[in-house]
A and B are shown apart, each in its own frame.
Chain A
Amino acid sequence: MLFVAPALALIAAFLVFPALWTLYLGVLKYDLAGSNAAAPQFVGLGNYRDALTDPRFANSLLLTVAFVGLSAVLGQNVLGFLLAAVLRDAASWVRGVVNAVVLLAWILPGTVVVFLWQALLDRGGGTLNALLGTPGAAWTLDHPLATIVAFNIWRGTAFSMLLYSAALGAVPRSQLETARTYGAGPLRTLRDVVLPHIRGHVLTNTLLITLWTFNDFAPYMLTGGGPDHRSETLPVYVYRTSIEGGALGYGSAISLIMLIVNLAIALFYLRLLRRRSA
């Protein structure tokens, strides 16, 4: 017990305390300016009631589910796996180049990446419009969700690719050979030979990228949550209500709801993982 005490103290200071503090702020009418900044009022579960009845919150939750589902669970997962699978048998210099390019997208600071994407998507002189010959197409305004989904796939695929590269290395070549000898097609091989070996990796990877994407704030820098809240995922919603709108208490209540959703997601995956190992 004595040995884990420092760790527990750290957890208490940096995880438990902020969570409880958020819980506390969430029951207040507490604003960035105005009289509720000086003397917050206790409103009990009022903020939670407001959030759960606010169509903007529902919209935001739906968008977040779509954003996570399309860009992380499907996009990064599938693309990362495909890259890893293709690169496994590729020449080493091809692997090196592709690895470097994909990793670059991952290691660059978010603000830099967003700046590049703004230059890419700009409706006046953007690179994409120049390439496609579609001057004036406003990608971020007409397809805000698709924009942030594509952005997040591009940005985050590297992690899945790295993880799956390592995982695929653990699939014995002899089993793949055997499958091929017996005439199994690529899909069949994937299902019966590869997946059973890497199921744990798939779950762990999906858990991590789901949580990261769920809490990702980068979309704000690209679309500002707009137009008309059409790319306002939960982290963006929290920022816009609590900082731009100055409703710190309300923002805290939503943050706590997000925390609970995060916990639920984590528990869900951990349960799947445990079932596998049992």
Chain B
Amino acid sequence: MGSRPVATVGALAVACLVLGGCVSAKHAAGAGDPQRNADAKHATLTISTNAISGGKNAQEADWITKELIPAFEKAEKAKGRNVTVNYQANGIDDAKYGEKLELSLKAGGGPDLFVVGGDSIATYAAAGYIAPLDKVVGGEANSWTGWKQVDAAVKKNVSMNGRYYAVPNGVDGRVLYYNKKLFVKAGLPADWQPTSWADILAAGRKLATLSGVTPIQINAGTPMAEATTMQGFLPLLAGAGAEIYDAKAKKYQGDTKAVRDVLSFYRTLYRGAKLGDPRLQQDPNGRDESFTEFSQGKLGIIGESDYLWRSVVCPTKSVCNATAMPDRNSTVGYAMIPAERPGSGVGGQDFVSMSGGGGFTINPHTKYPQQAWDLLTFMRSATQIKAQLGSTVQITANKQVNDEILARDPALKFIADKVIPITRFRPSEEHYTSVGALIEEATGQVVAGKPVDEVAKAYQQGVVKLVGADHVSSN
């Protein structure tokens, strides 16, 4: 008797092995009828983002709970529909939030509406966590009038194989921020625009003469996670003339000259010339610490997205908390990221950038696809986009809104006008996230002192194991 349950479970497990895919059965169903429950008397929807009132991205959380939800519920009522919207607030590391979201989606649950980054679309779609919007809600996803206000590149960032997977929120760009006061003190121009990596290092060497100042912060290592790839490695790689994934040849960069150039730059920065602080790259809170140092005038140059300008060092204490800089507009300068040498960037460019950004998407397993689509289009109307921003400025996915608000902020205008036109997006390929993890590991090893050739070789092996030798270029 005692051994029977064991035997039953054992037999089940064996059956799984033979039949294959006991773990995958749940997702096989995919999206159902887009019109299901469209006439339900009462519907409940859940939105989740990584924002929380009084903490991380407080502005966004307040907008959702205080403006969006009441306004939407009212509008639905006017249409004779009863919809309740719940908000799941979070205030954690972006990487941890992603893991949490993936785990809940994997378990067949998850919120009805959530944000998916452009770089995650391929991997989420392959897992069945998201589906093309026209499949989830029907043809109206393609005929939505709001698409007219969206820039082509931004549309592409939320699409795959010509189908929309999300409605975009906006777009960001990467630049080099620098502290003008420190620059003047070190004998550098307050109006600075480097044209090569050597220029960045030269400025760093001058800043190194100031005491108590870390000259340069270019993110590296695993604790910074995606901030390492987006703010550090990928812009540098673009400057060395390569994109991480060649969509035409279907090949990732392996142990190539461009990759070695980037790793060598890191080595010079952190080991050779000692212009960066390796500790910041190893500390689990290193990125926040780098923000604190920059806001206190202890860091000369930092590569970051417009997020730093908007949400970290903004003059408003209630938005930027401890890292707010009342004198931001006069102290913080911004410059385009130069290619390794003039003209050596991707597409022969002199300057480069990387852009991210994603959009809200609808869980294919939602009970109320039509109500969810209503909410999605409602929240991406010009009125709600402006409500979301409040007094802050951001490059949104709506051209009309951008025309109105960007004039209020010269730095955002600079990024919209100068950086976005030359920027690159991360590949929409399902292995990108794992390749990104290998990149983080490789940069971390270089900062820790391992020789570039050795690290590049190990990185190449990792990528080959992931995608197969046919999909990796090396030279």
Which A residues contact B (CB, under 8 angstroms)? Answer: 1-2, 4-5, 8-9, 12-13, 16-17, 20-21, 23-25, 27-28, 30-35, 37-40, 42, 123-124, 138, 140-141, 223-224, 226-228, 243-246
Contacts and interface: CB of A to CB of B under 8 A. Distances in A.
B247 interface: no
A2 B4 CA distance: 13
B150 interface: no
14 contacts: A13-B5, A24-B17, A28-B23, A32-B127, A33-B102, A35-B127, A37-B24, A37-B27, A38-B126, A40-B24, A141-B283, A227-B223, A227-B448, A228-B282
B40 interface: no
Residue of A2, A21, A33, A138 with highest tally of chain B CB at under 10 A: A33
A60 to B, nearest CB: 15
A23 B17 CA distance: 10
A37 B17 contact: no
A228 B9 contact: no
Contacts of B16: 24
A50 to B, nearest CB: 8
A226 B2 contact: no
B126 A8 contact: no
Given A1-B2, A30-B23, A38 B95 contact: no
A250 B103 CA distance: 16
A16 B448 CA distance: 43
Contact of B430 (A21, A35, A141): A35
Contacts of B283: 123, 138, 140-141, 227
Given A38-B127, A227-B282, A8 B23 contact: no
Given A17-B9, A42-B20, A246-B434, A226 B222 contact: yes
Contacts of A246: 102, 433-434
Interface in B20-59: 20-24, 27-28
B294 interface: no
A5 B433 CA distance: 47
Contacts of B445: 228
A12 B102 contact: no
A77 B457 CA distance: 44
A20 B13 CA distance: 7
Given A38-B24, A40-B24, A21 B13 contact: yes
Contacts of B13: 20-21, 23-24
Contacts of A244: 95, 99, 437
Nearest to A241: B437
B5 A9 contact: yes
Nearest to B120: A33
Contact of A32 (B99, B279, B444): B99
Contacts of B9: 12, 16-17, 20
A34 B23 contact: no
Contacts of A37: 24, 27, 106, 126-129
Nearest to B27: A38
Contacts of B129: 33, 37
Contacts of A35: 126-127, 430
Contact of A34 (B24, B123, B221): B123
